[in-house]
Chains A and B, each alone.
Chain A
Amino acid sequence: MSKDEIHSFDAASDDALLVLFANGSQAAAQELTRRLMPRVFAQAFHKLRNRADAEDVTQESFMKLWRIAKDWKQDQAKVSTWLYRVVENACIDRLRRKHVSSGLDDLGHEPSDPSPSVGEKMQDQSRVNALYAAIDLLPERQAIAVRMRHLDEKSNIEIAEILNLSVDAVESLISRAKRSLTAQLQGHKNALGYHDDTL
């Protein structure tokens, strides 16, 4: 990719880059991947909690994006929004296939991705695992909303667009979800390394 291309792509929207890709620009694909891949991978990882699965879903989702590029209409949903839905569905399909089940009783299990869990980080990791397990116990829309807001760092406006809800409804969903998460995690405070006198 030349310097000029990089500068011109910096200002280009995701939509415009996808159209450029459909017209044969590999450099546009490179820029789109650079922009979107970290978020897509993080979303898949938060949902699947497994690096290999998250990588597979990321690659599959981008493949779908490349294939739809020639039929992409710029007035439809934003590329990032479209991709978010694709990743979400791909994760759900994968989880169904694998029959993954987890619960708060599994707090002591090893994290599925071993890289961050050494030494003193074990306790933090078990809290994170507990958080994931607690999110799994939420009603589906609350789980999706809280994940999008606090793990995938989407704005409430983006979440509203993805879930076809009003921003107020999204705020309400997230608020209820956080109350439920707090209640669930406080019920396991000892397993999570909190002492009674600190609560």
Chain B
Amino acid sequence: MTHSDKHTDFDLDAILSDARMAVPTPDDALFRAILSDAQSVLDDVMSEPVQAAIPWWRQLWADLGGWPTVTGLAAAAVVGIWIGVSADTLFPQSATSFDANSELSDPFSGLDLAMLEG
């Protein structure tokens, strides 16, 4: 049977089959061009600077500002603790004097609160 003989009757599947077979074979040059593109993409990727994965704690450390920030925070914390621990030694009169003078600093001393009710 020749290629044309099979079309003596209308046969859609036969025409579809012919269309499938009518595709030319892709050129070797196309194959080479595609591989050349692949190599150029690989070359681009290889030439990009490699960024090593950074552990989360180092990222956090960097985000906080690194050594300058952390030493500053540590110094502030130490001073705060020192003030807290040695407050009685440093300011022996502060607590009593506050109590003694608290009436003087009462901001409502001249105001009758009862007048504000109702």
Contacts and interface: CB of A to CB of B under 8 A. Distances in A.
Contact of A59 (B8, B9, B23, B34): B34
B3 to A, nearest CB: 6
Contact of A26 (B4, B10, B35): B35
A6 to B, nearest CB: 15
Contact of B23 (A45, A63, A192, A198): A45
Interface string A45-61: 11000010001001100
10 contacts: A37-B30, A55-B27, A58-B34, A63-B41, A113-B24, A121-B4, A125-B22, A131-B15, A186-B10, A195-B8
Interface of B: 2-4, 7-10, 12-13, 15-16, 18-20, 22-24, 26-27, 30-31, 33-35, 37-39, 41-42, 45-46
A66 B20 contact: no
A42 interface: yes
A58 B3 contact: no
A193 B7 contact: yes
A41 B2 contact: no
Nearest to A123: B4
B24 A151 contact: no
Nearest 10 Cβ contacts at the A-B interface:
A29-B38, A66-B41, A150-B16, A41-B26, A42-B23, A62-B34, A128-B19, A66-B38, A63-B37, A45-B23
Given A113-B24, A150-B16, A199 B42 contact: no
A141 interface: no
A105 B105 CA distance: 104
Given A37-B34, A66-B41, A185-B10, A120 B4 contact: yes
Interface of A: 21-22, 24, 26, 29-30, 33-34, 37-38, 41-42, 45-46, 51, 55, 58-59, 62-63, 66-67, 69-70, 113, 115-116, 120-121, 123-125, 127-128, 130-132, 150-151, 153, 178, 181-182, 185-186, 189, 192-195, 198-199
B24 A45 contact: yes
A59 B23 CA distance: 17
Nearest to A28: B38
A33 B34 contact: yes
A29 B35 contact: yes
B18 to A, nearest CB: 5
Contacts of B26: 37-38, 41, 55, 58
Given A58-B30, A59-B33, 14 more contacts: A21-B38, A21-B42, A26-B38, A26-B39, A38-B26, A55-B27, A59-B34, A120-B3, A123-B7, A128-B19, A150-B13, A153-B20, A185-B15, A195-B8
B22 A198 contact: no
B24 A116 contact: yes
A28 B19 CA distance: 31
Nearest to A33: B34
Contacts of A62: 34, 37-38
